[in-house]
Amino acid sequence: AKADGRGIHRFYRAELLVGAQNRKALEDDLRHALAQNQFHLAYQPVVSTREERIVGYEALIRWEHPTRGAISPAEFIPVAEECGLIETIGEWVMRTACDEAARWPEGVRVAVNVSPIQFANPALPAIVTNALARSGIAPQRLELEITEGVFLDETASSDQMFKSLKAIGVRLALDDFGTGYSSLGYLKKAPFDKIKIDQSFVRGAAIAGNRNAAIIKAIVTLAETLGMETTAEGVELKDELALIRDLGCSHIQGYIYGKPARSEEVEKQLGNGGKA
Ligand code: C2E
Ligand code: CA
Ligand code: CA
Ligand code: CA
């Protein structure tokens, strides 16, 4: 058959149009989601490799849409970032995570994902300070997870933001490490307490001949030299767990230890001493 350039063109246009309509609908629904209490946070345990204890939880936003059901943050966070709603949603996440963590035993940390757009807002330190003050949790219990995206449009203000956040006393983690363009360069620029090794490196690492294990090892060595902790993300299998332990990651997060669950579940889990 002869290739029909216009046909292909029409096909793509129709696809784009449907995409745009879905997106517009999603955006409209997103605007009401906060007021209508459709969001909640789910917490996934972060376990210390050596003692096998839960040291904290990562807060992950969940959206229960009235007709579509659960929508993944991977789908709606980018939309919220583009339409400006991430500021309000992000502030809600920060407050809720601190409030809920205040009901957990002292010393159990909570990690909150911070979008590059929030990071670029000079009001972020005040938002963090406020969330800490109203919840009463110590700054060291709050960890902010920042992706390499914050370095993309680089300004002196990102240096100032890192200083302000460290001055508050919160911990900083570099999320999804290894997926950006210049991951190594970012390490020298900011005072991170932790590197989170992206799950794409963990996936398949335990298979013989796979190069990911060597990469993880190198990241761990680098992090140790710089005095940073490492969390391997997305550990699902026993083989992966054994390998990650051998490679020396200080912390592990993944379905093997627990899926994200509501704060009430976390309180129950911690009731038995936080044994993973
Ligand atoms: P992320 O920050 O890299 O979070 C880790 C993701 O991996 C979560 O997906 C988590 O449920 C998933 N995960 C954890 N363990 C495993 C495992 O063993 N196997 C597999 N296959 N997956 C695992 P989730 O909750 O769907 O979140 C996706 C992304 O959405 C997050 O990636 C983060 O970038 C973003 N996100 C989630 N909550 C928030 C939030 O409150 N604020 C912002 N700005 N972004 C958020
Ligand atoms: Ca994260
Ligand atoms: Ca991550
Ligand atoms: Ca990720």
Identify the pLDDT of residue 275.
60
Report the separation in Å between the CA atom of 248 and the middle of ligand 4, taken as the mean of its atom positions. Answer: 21
Report the separation in Å between the CA atom of 57 and the middle of ligand 4, taken as the mean of its atom positions. Answer: 15
Report the separation in Å between the CA atom of 191 and the middle of ligand 1, taken as the mean of its atom positions. Answer: 23
Ion ligand 3: residue ranges with CB closer than 5 A: 175-176
Q: What is the pLDDT of residues 37-62, one digit of tens each?
A: 999 999 999 999 999 999 999 999 99
Q: Is the ipTM here above 0.85?
A: yes
Identify the pLDDT of residue 39.
98
Q: Whose CA is nearest to atom 42 of ligand 1?
A: 113
Query: Is residue 185 scored above 90 in pLDDT?
Result: no
Report the separation in Å between the CA atom of 202 and the middle of ligand 4, taken as the mean of its atom positions. Answer: 12
Q: Is residue 216 within 8 Å of residue 201, measured between CB atoms?
A: yes
Any ligand 1 atom below 6 A from CB of 258: no
The 8 Å CB, 24+ separation contacts for 76-82 are: 76/26, 76/30, 77/115, 79/23, 79/26, 79/27, 79/30, 80/30, 81/115, 81/116, 81/117
Q: What is the pLDDT of residues 89-105, one digit of tens each?
A: 999 999 999 999 999 99
Q: What is the pLDDT of residues 239-258, one digit of tens each?
A: 999 999 999 999 999 999 99
Any ligand 1 atom below 6 A from CB of 231: no
Any ligand 1 atom below 6 A from CB of 70: no
Give the mean pLDDT of 221-244: 95
Q: Provide the whole-model pTM.
A: 0.92
Identify the pLDDT of residue 248.
97
For residues 209 and 172, the model is more confident at 172
- Tokens 């229960």 locate to 64
Give the mean pLDDT of 183-212: 87
Identify the pLDDT of residue 153.
66
Q: Whose CA is nearest to atom 43 of ligand 1?
A: 113
Report the separation in Å between the CA atom of 1 and the middle of ligand 1, taken as the mean of its atom positions. Answer: 44
Q: Given the CA of residue 73, which atom of ligand 1 is nearest to it?
A: 30
Identify the pLDDT of residue 134.
98
Identify the pLDDT of residue 255.
98
The rounded percent of the chain whose pLDDT value lies above 70 is 89
Identify the pLDDT of residue 11.
54
Report the separation in Å between the CA atom of 60 and the middle of ligand 3, taken as the mean of its atom positions. Answer: 11
Q: Given the CA of residue 61, which atom of ligand 1 is nearest to it?
A: 38
